[in-house]
């Protein structure tokens, strides 16, 4: 059942407990959803990890081009969250429904183009990523089998953003739980061939993921198109082109999409540089990121809460509550993420051993986790404050900060440390930590100016 937005907005003269309750009420479904998703990713990577470094690298390199396109839709989803939250906060839920329909329709067209590009250029993309010869075949097969499910995932991302902007965190949570359960079971059955199923290895992991995403897309869109979600839409009339509404959506959504596209693009080049150091280095990198993903749960949860509450409160003409909600989200996010960072610092080898028995990969990946352990707090600060600023509709600021940080700091430092300082893969990881620190400092300073409160949506 959807959570009514007015129940999540703190009422006039709130105390700190009411704001905290509002933040947690929005954050926990996202965290629960990501918890299961993370567990599924851990199992999937562990199953593939025991097939060896080549298998891990096949999936890791194949995912990078997918992440570029996914970043585009993630950004558009954030834009949908911001504009829907502002409209819902202002009491105009019907207009919010129409805005969501326009965002979904546009994303459906772009997603169709993306899937065609991926299908026709799959092998070329894997080769371009710097895959070694023994990785290309498996990487290409994995990428191709993932494509049918991508269309559903990309468009669903935008719809999920709109639902969250309206305060409905539970519908996306329930659908994503189903997706992850199917993916989890499918990986168990198809990677090694349990219960009489064929042992398909890397291909089986991709097949399970694709089937899960198609089922999830159907479960999400059937009630939405039927007008049975928190966003009232009338199909098909709300999905017909509305120039004025599209312009409003685009004003917030395009910078959000460009931000994520630039992040994903920089990560692609970043991964390509790491891949050039060999399969062992890249396997340690890919597994380390997967192990670290447990800390993304509170980060994403509280960033989403900040995005929604800031947008809704600004729509209700309560910038004071928007600011309080953002600060509370940051404090809670740091508390959760900081606790998880301790595990990365003190028991990284234990976490790495979940995925692989290769001592070289475990030793190298443990270095990654320790570096990230010391970076967790400032990463959470940047993550949540940028989420709050997005919720205000100030997506242009976030776009420019992200562009500079991702391309100048992360990529620039990575190139210099690997090619000039000859630090190997650890240099790339220190560059990643510096990227997060820059975003934390700049987003904090900008948030304190209050300029985000005057963003036009």
Question: 259 falls in which pLDDT band (50, 70, 90)?
Answer: confident
pLDDT at residue 328, rounded to an integer:
94
- Non-local CB neighbours of 294 within 8 Å, separated by 6+ positions: 38, 42, 340
- What value does the mean pLDDT of the chain take? 84
Query: In the predicted model, what is the mean pLDDT of residues 147-175?
Result: 89
Q: Band of the pLDDT at 1, cuts 50, 70, 90?
A: very low
Does residue 42 have a pLDDT over 70? no
pLDDT at 242 over 80: yes
CB 411 within 8 A of CB 266: yes
Instruction: Please write the tens of the pLDDT for every residue from 81-118.
Output: 888 999 998 888 899 999 999 999 988 998 898 888 88
d(CA 398, CA 238): 30
Q: Evaluate if residue 453 carries a pLDDT over 80.
A: yes
Domain tally for the chain?
Answer: 1
456 or 405: whose pLDDT is higher?
405
Compute the distance between CA of residue 285 and CA of residue 59 in angstroms, rounded to an integer.
12
Distance of CA 141 to the CA centre of its chain: 24
Tell me the average pLDDT across 321-333.
93
How far apart CA 146 and CA 142 sit, in angstroms, is 6
Buried b (16+ CB within 10 A) or exposed e, 365-376: bbbbbbbbbebb
For 422, the domain range is 5-454
Model confidence pLDDT, tens digit, residues 229-240: 899 898 889 898
Quote the tokens at residue 250. Answer: 């685009």
Decide if pLDDT at 132 tops 80: no
Do residues 429 and 371 touch, judged by C-beta distance below 8 A? yes
DSSP 443: H
> How much of the chain, in percent, has pLDDT values that exceed 90?
35
């Amino acid at each position: 059942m959807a959570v009514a937005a007015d129940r999540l907005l703190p009422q006039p003269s709130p105390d700190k407990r009411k704001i905290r309750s509002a933040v947690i009420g929005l954050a926990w479904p996202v965290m629960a959803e990501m918890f299961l998703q993370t567990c599924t990713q851990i199992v999937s990577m562990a199953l593939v990890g025991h097939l060896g470094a080549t298998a891990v690298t096949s999936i890791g390199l194949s995912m990078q081009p997918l992440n570029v396109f996914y970043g585009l839709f993630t950004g558009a989803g954030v834009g949908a969250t911001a504009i829907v939250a502002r409209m819902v906060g202002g009491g105009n839920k019907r207009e919010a429904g129409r805005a969501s329909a326009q965002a979904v329709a546009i994303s459906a067209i772009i997603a169709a183009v993306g899937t065609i590009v991926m299908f026709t250029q799959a092998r070329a993309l894997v080769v371009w990523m710097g895959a070694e010869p023994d990785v290309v075949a498996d990487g290409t097969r994995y990428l191709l089998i993932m494509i049918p499910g991508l269309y559903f995932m990309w468009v669903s991302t935008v719809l999920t953003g709109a639902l969250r902007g309206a305060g409905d965190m539970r519908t996306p949570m329930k659908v994503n739980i189903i997706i992850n359960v199917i993916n989890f079971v499918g990986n168990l059955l198809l990677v090694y061939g349990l219960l009489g199923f064929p042992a398909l290895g890397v291909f089986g992991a991709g097949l399970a993921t694709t089937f899960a995403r198609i089922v999830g897309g159907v479960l999400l869109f059937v009630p939405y198109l039927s007008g049975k979600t928190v966003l009232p839409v009338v199909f098909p009339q709300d999905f017909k082109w509305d120039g004025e509404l599209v312009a409003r959506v685009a004003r917030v959504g395009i910078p959000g999409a460009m931000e994520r596209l630039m992040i994903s693009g920089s990560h692609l080049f970043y991964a390509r540089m790491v891949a050039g150091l060999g399969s062992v280095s890249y396997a340690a990198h890919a597994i380390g990121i997967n192990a670290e993903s447990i800390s993304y749960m509170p980060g994403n949860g509280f960033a989403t809460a900040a995005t929604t509450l800031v947008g809704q409160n600004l729509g209700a003409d309560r910038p004071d509550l928007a600011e309080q909600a953002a600060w509370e989200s940051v404090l809670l996010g740091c508390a959760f993420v900081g606790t998880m960072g301790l595990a990365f610092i003190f028991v990284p080898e234990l976490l790495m051993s979940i995925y692989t028995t290769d001592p070289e990969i475990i030793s190298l990946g443990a270095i990654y986790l320790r570096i990230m352990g010391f970076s967790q707090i400032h990463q959470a600060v940047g993550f949540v404050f940028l989420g709050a600023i997005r919720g205000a509709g100030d997506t242009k600021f976030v776009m420019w900060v992200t562009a500079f940080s991702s391309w100048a700091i992360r990529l620039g430092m990575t190139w210099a440390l690997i090619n000039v300082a000859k630090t190997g893969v650890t240099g790339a990881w220190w560059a990643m930590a510096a990227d997060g620190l820059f975003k934390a400092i700049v987003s904090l300073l900008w948030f304190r100016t209050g300029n985000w409160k005057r963003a036009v949506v």
